[in-house]
Amino acid sequence: MSIKEHPPLHVPVLLQDVLTLLQPQSDESYLDLTAGYGGHAREILGITSNYTESTLVDRDEYATRTLGDLQDKGVQVMHTDFLTAAKQLVQDGKHYSLILLDLGVSSPQLDIPERGFSFTKSGPLDMRMDQRQAQSAHTLIDTANRTTLIHLIHEYGEEPKRIAERYADAIIAARPLETTGELAEAIRLAHVGKWQKTHPATRTFQAFRIAINDELHQVRELMPLLPKLLKKGGRVGIISFHSLEDRIVKRYFTEQRDAGYESELDVLTKKPIAGHTHDVHNPRARSAKLRAAVKK
Ligand SMILES: C[S@@+](CC[C@H](N)C(=O)[O-])C[C@H]1O[C@@H](n2cnc3c(N)ncnc32)[C@H](O)[C@@H]1O
C-alpha cells in the first residue's frame, strides 16, 4: 500500500474506557492533541456536537488531511506537534471541557512501508511523523557515534547496556544502512538466543523513533500546560504505549496529587486502565495504558 492510496483503518484504542472516564456531554468543547485519523475524535464529537469550539492536532499531514470533513463543520485542525499547538492555544486563551492525548504511532504509520517505522515491511529509514522535519532516522543511524547509539538503544529502547553495545556495534559494522529491513536484519544477526513473538529489533526501532520525533520531551513539556487548557471540571485522558511515556504521565499526576491545595488536577485513575490483551483486532491495544484527571 502506498501513502497516496486510501489509508488503512486505525482502530481507536480503549474507546469505551475513554468515553466512560471522560463522560463527554452535549455541547462540550474538545481538544484532541493526537487526532490521527480521527477515530476517538469522531466518536466524541458525535456526542458533544460542538464542532466550532473544538480543535484537532496532529503533526502527520497524512492524518490531518483525512480530517477535512470535520474542518468543514467548523473544527479547528492544526498540523503541528502538540507542544507547539498547546503553547499556541494557551496563548490564545483557549479552554476545553475535554482533552485527549493518544500517544505513539498510528496503524497507518506502522503499516505503510514508505513511512519507515516498520521492520516487518521494509522501507526507507524515515520514521518522521512530520515530513517537514529535516532529520530522518537514516541520517541519525548513519552518523551517530557508538556512544550515542548505545545511549539511545539503552535509554529509549530500554535494552540492557550489554545488548545495546552489541546492537550498536552491529549497526556500525553494517553501515551504510538504507532500509528498515537492513536495520532489522543487522539486529537480528547480532541477537543471541531464540526469540518467539517479539522481533529482536522491536526496542531498537522504538529507540530511534523516540529520538527522531523527540517524543519524551514533547510529553514532558506538555504536562504542565494541560491544566491551563482545561475548563473547571474539564477532563483529560492520556493513553500511552510504553513505560517511558507512562512514567512521565504518572509522575506528573503524582505531583498533582501531592501538591495538596495547590494542585490543579484531581486524578481519576488510581491505577491506569490497561489495554485489552484479548483485542485481536487491535494488537496495538495490548500495551496501552489510560490515565485520566479532572480540573479542579
Ligand atoms: C495512536 S495515533 C492516534 C489515533 C487517534 N486517536 C485515532 O483514534 O484515530 C497517534 C497520533 O499521534 C500523532 N503524534 C504523535 N506524537 C505527536 C506529537 N508530539 N505532536 C502531534 N502529533 C503527534 C501521530 O502522528 C499519530 O497520528
Q: What is the pLDDT of residue 87?
A: 98
Ligand 1, atom nearest to 12 Cα: 8
d(CA 82, CA 215): 10
Give the range among 2-6, 62-66, 162-166 with minimum mean pLDDT: 2-6
Place 279 in a pLDDT band, splitting at 50, 70 and 90: low
Q: Region 74-87: what's the mean pLDDT?
A: 98
Q: Assess whether pLDDT exceeds 90 at residue 282.
A: no
C-alpha cell at 198: 517479539
Global pTM reads: 0.95
Q: Region 150-158: what's the mean pLDDT?
A: 98
Expressed in angstroms and rounded, the spacing between residue 38 Cα and the centre of ligand 1 is: 10
Residues within a 6 A CB radius of ligand 1: 10, 12, 34, 36-40, 57-60, 63, 81-82, 102, 104-106, 129, 218
Expressed in angstroms and rounded, the spacing between residue 46 Cα and the centre of ligand 1 is: 20
Query: Which of 13, 57, 129, 239 has most ligand 1 atoms within 8 Å of CB, for mutation?
Result: 129
Q: Region 264-293: what's the mean pLDDT?
A: 85
Residue pLDDT, tens place only, 5-36:
444 478 899 999 999 999 999 999 999 999 99
Q: Region 37-59: what's the mean pLDDT?
A: 97
Residue pLDDT, tens place only, 191-241:
988 887 889 999 999 999 999 999 999 999 999 999 999 999 999 999 999
Higher pLDDT, 74 or 120: 74
- Would you call 100 helix, strand, or coil by DSSP? strand
Q: Assess whether pLDDT exceeds 60 at residue 4.
A: no
Q: Region 129-136: what's the mean pLDDT?
A: 95
Residue pLDDT, tens place only, 88-123:
999 999 999 999 999 999 988 988 999 999 988 999
Q: Which domains does the chain have, with CATH numbers?
A: 15-108+216-295 (3.40.50.150), 133-212 (1.10.150.170)
Residue 46 contacts residue 54 (beta carbons within 8 Å): no
- For the chain, helix, strand, coil in percent to 5 are 45, 15, 40
Query: Which of 56, 59, 241, 281 has most ligand 1 atoms within 8 Å of CB, for mutation?
Result: 59
Expressed in angstroms and rounded, the spacing between residue 192 Cα and the centre of ligand 1 is: 34
Query: Which of 34, 132, 225, 284 has most ligand 1 atoms within 8 Å of CB, for mutation?
Result: 34
Q: What is the pLDDT of residue 130?
A: 97
Ligand 1, atom nearest to 80 Cα: 21
**Which residue, judged by its Cα, is nearest atom 13 of ligand 1?**
34
Using a 10 angstrom Cβ sphere, with 0-12 exposed, 13-18 middle and 19 or more buried, the burial of residue 4 is exposed
Q: What is the pLDDT of residue 240?
A: 97
Q: What is the pLDDT of residue 116?
A: 95
d(CA 75, CA 45): 10
Place 286 in a pLDDT band, splitting at 50, 70 and 90: confident
Q: What is the pLDDT of residue 280?
A: 58
Identify the CA nearest to 183 among candidates 122, 135, 111: 122
- Would you call 98 helix, strand, or coil by DSSP? strand
Please state, as a whole number, how many other Cβ atoms lie within 10 Å of the Cβ of residue 238.
29
Q: What is the pLDDT of residue 84?
A: 98
Residue pLDDT, tens place only, 252-263:
999 999 998 999
Mean pLDDT, all residues of the chain: 93
